[in-house]
Structure formats: C-alpha cells, structure tokens
Amino acid sequence: MANLFIILLLLFAALAVVVMLTERYGKRLEPEEQSRMWRILVVLIGIMLIARIIQFYAGG
C-alpha cells in the first residue's frame, strides 16, 4: 500500500511540474489553429474507436 502512495505522489508531482511549465512557456493558439487541432483530434479518436471495435470482435 505504501508503494501505491509513493507512485501517486510522484505522478502528482510530475503533473504539477508539467502544468507549471506549460503555463509559463506554452503559447496560446489562435482560433484557426484550435479548430484545425480539434479536427485532427476527432479523426484520431474515430480511428482509435474503430481499431478497438475491430480488436474486440477479432478476439483480442
């Protein structure tokens, strides 16, 4: 049980560092860039969903 708490603590610390760094050094996206990224994300999610359905029905 102690190992679980150590892992969770390390994950929380890593997440906090990533959030701080992206807030400080990340750049804001323009609305056009956001819409392009959203379209790419929707396509990738669709491909992943189809792949998981094929994997499920193929017995994997």
Q: Rounded distance, CA 9 to CA 7, Å?
A: 5
List Cα–Cα distances, 51 to 37, 41, 48, in angstroms. 21, 15, 5
Question: The tokens of 37 are what?
Answer: 């990224």
Question: Whole-angstrom Cα distance, residue 42 to residue 50?
Answer: 12
What was the pLDDT predicted at 28? 86
What DSSP state is assigned to residue 32? H
Each residue's pLDDT tens digit, 16-51: 999 999 999 988 889 999 999 999 999 999 999 999
Residue 18 has what pLDDT?
A: 96
Per-residue confidence (pLDDT) for residue 26, from 0 to 100? 85
Distance CA 50, CA 39 (A): 17
**Domain boundaries along the sequence of the chain:** 2-57
